[in-house]
């Protein structure tokens, strides 16, 4: 009963050969039933209605200022906008939280992002205008919170 004697292992262990029957080949769905057909049509209709709104929500999320900032700006400017990253330090990038940056108009900042400035590359071919404005709106939120309450001594 070794392979050298020409033993048919399938016959030896499984008996005479039978046609192989796969589980999924024998499976029949009872689509004759009207209620099951109606349920499948309803599910297909819901999928057609839900998918476009889901895709729109996904598209909107990918263009949000935070996601654009994370994808394109964090390497140099850091997640907090401080520029305190190895790349940011070597390129001497601006601290986006600083009063100097925050006092600039959106038009000035948009131009810096679009055209590039100093060591910063131009993003006009990489980001849409909407993405640039979304990221600027996000940059405006990076200003450190100041404690307006007087400190107790």
Q: Give the other-Cβ count within 10 Å of 118's Cβ.
A: 9
Q: What share of the chain is helix, strand, coil (3-state, %, to 5)?
A: 60, 0, 40
Q: Report residue 52 as tokens.
A: 């476009």
Residue range 62-94, pLDDT digits in tens: 458 899 999 999 999 999 999 999 998 989 999
- Name the CATH code of domain 65-142 (choices 3.30.2310.20, 1.10.3720.10, 3.40.605.10, 1.10.760.10): 1.10.760.10
Confidence (pLDDT) at 143: 85
Predicted TM-score of the model (pTM): 0.55
Which portions of the chain are predicted below pLDDT 70? 1-63, 146-153
Q: Which pair of structure tokens corresponds to residue 126?
A: 């990489």
């Amino acid at each position: 009963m070794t392979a050298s004697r020409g033993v048919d292992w399938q016959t030896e262990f499984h008996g005479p050969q039978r046609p192989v029957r796969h589980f999924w080949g024998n499976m029949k769905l009872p689509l004759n039933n009207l209620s099951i057909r109606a349920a499948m049509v309803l599910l297909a209709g819901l999928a057609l209605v839900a998918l476009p709104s889901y895709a729109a929500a996904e598209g909107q999320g990918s263009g949000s200022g935070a996601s654009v900032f994370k994808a394109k700006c964090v390497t140099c400017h850091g997640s907090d906008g401080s520029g305190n990253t190895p790349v940011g330090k070597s390129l001497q990038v601006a601290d986006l939280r600083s009063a100097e940056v925050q006092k600039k108009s959106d038009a000035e900042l948009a131009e810096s992002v679009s055209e590039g400035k100093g060591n910063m590359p131009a993003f006009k071919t990489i980001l849409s205008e909407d993405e640039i404005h979304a990221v600027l709106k996000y940059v405006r939120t990076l200003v450190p919170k100041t404690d307006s309450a007087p400190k107790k001594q």
